[in-house]
Amino acid sequence: MVCCVRSRLREIVGASTNWRDHVQAMQERKALHTLLAKRQEDLPPRRMKDSYLEVILPLGSQPQIREKYLNVYNSVRFGRILEDLDSLGVLICYTHTKQEAQPRSPLSIVTALVDKINLRKKVVHPDCDIKFTGNVSWVGKTSMEVKMHMLQLHDGDYCPVLDATFVMVARDPENKRPAFVNPLIPESPEEEEIFKQGEMNKLKRIDFSTASLLKMAPTAEERNIVHDIFLNTLDTRTVSFRSRVLPPNSVWMEDAKLKGLQICHPQERNIFNRIFGGFLMRKAFELGWATACSCGGSRPFIVSVDDIMFQRPVEVGSLLLLSGQVCYTEKNYIQVRVHSEVYDADTREHHTTNIFHFTFISENEVPRVVPKTYGESMLYLDGKRHFAATMKEI
């Protein structure tokens, strides 16, 4: 069961279940520094099957846990699945790095990014068992890529529901500096291909980041798109740059956003006494879903999640500000960006913690979202890029 995953993680790092004991538990972890490897070469290599795990979520066989996962449409809450994937990904990495002689791991393994989650089914049933499987698929010096799959029992067989790729990083016992992890050795041509794909994913992320609209100007084609949108919204009666008219079946981008606030209580902490990444993903997804729902006017279904970067940890007690924005629409598809930041009441400073990208499909065709300002146009182009990358994958 998924709750067993979290219990196992607490055992591995020696985390306390009581919030008041967390300072002492973290002090005890300092002593584990001596167990860290000085070089990656000092660590024994691992195989992909060494980290393979299967976990059952018994929604069918244990109805008492069903309500936690149930949404109003009588299907499974995707936000809960994000939480479970995050916990499982960390446990898989601890399995990869496990040293037999050490009951407690000196490593602090945290989620660095969600590279991609692609769904194969629109609806997940709330009364059938779910199986999660996964293993480490690529390893750098201090980072690990994890591939996970979710399947659901139907007529006696487990059918694929989603595929997910996460990247985790290993840090020292105090979660301050990078730490080396065991190298990974592919054992077959198929595993060689999986490992090579992990390397390509890393390079693709670097390219995507390098071409970011926050760093580089849009391409010539993208500049033409923005200019065409501008021309199509000019008021021909006034011939003024300032006077803008919304085209038919459209919505201004500034009117396609929602905001939310979350107080981060100790209940939502992870094993290192920061706010659990899965909780942040769930909250961001739920705001993203609501944003897509209010824009499209009908129930949206999640198609893909991509490029969630965990830029900084969220401390317990933080005020978490979430902002959901529809960036791009095409036919029935809605591309939503959720920006999360923490507000420090003492310094009155805002710091970005995450940016989430969600692709939804609506039951009906949705209005076209139209940017007004240059900043909104950049959001529009960024959303269009993410949407194109998702469509290429699925």
Which residue type, as a one-letter code, is found at position 59?
Answer: L
Query: Which residues, including other chains, have CB under 8 Å from residue 167's CB and lie 6 or more apart?
Result: 111, 112, 113, 114, 115, 143, 144, 145, 146
**Multiple choice CATH, 2-188, 3.40.50.620, 3.10.20.30, 3.30.60.50, 3.10.129.10:** 3.10.129.10
Write out the two tokens for 90.
């960390």
Q: Which of 282, 301, 355, 300 has the alpha carbon at shortest distance from 323? A: 355
- Check residue 378 and give its pLDDT: 95
DSSP label at residue 290 = H
Alpha-carbon span 386 to 382, nearest angstrom:
6
- Check residue 28 and give its pLDDT: 75
Per-residue pLDDT of the chain (394 residues; tens, 9 = 90+): 566 887 888 788 776 667 666 667 677 778 788 889 999 999 999 999 999 999 999 999 888 899 999 999 999 999 999 999 999 999 999 999 998 878 889 999 999 999 999 999 988 999 999 999 999 999 999 999 999 999 999 989 999 999 999 999 999 988 889 999 999 999 999 999 999 999 998 888 887 777 788 888 899 999 999 999 998 898 877 777 677 889 999 999 999 999 999 999 988 888 787 888 899 999 999 999 999 999 998 999 999 998 888 888 898 888 999 999 999 999 999 999 999 999 888 888 899 999 999 999 998 999 999 999 999 999 999 999 999 999 988 7
- Check residue 175 and give its pLDDT: 83
| Helices assigned H by DSSP within the chain | 2-13, 22-29, 66-69, 78-97, 189-210, 220-232, 277-296, 374-393
- Check residue 31 and give its pLDDT: 79
Instruction: Give, in degrees to the nearest 5, the angle at Cα 390 between 389 and 393.
Output: 90
Is-same-fold flag (2-188; 247-392)?
A: yes
**CATH class of the domain comprising 247-392:** alpha beta
Q: Which of 126, 110, 213 has the alpha carbon at shortest distance from 169? A: 110
Within a 13 Å sphere around the CA of 104, how many CA atoms are in the beta-carbon half?
A: 20
Residue owning tokens 């995707």: 78
Length of the chain: 394
- Check residue 33 and give its pLDDT: 84
- Check residue 276 and give its pLDDT: 87
Q: Where are the domains of the chain?
A: 2-188, 247-392
Coil/strand/helix, residue 236 = coil
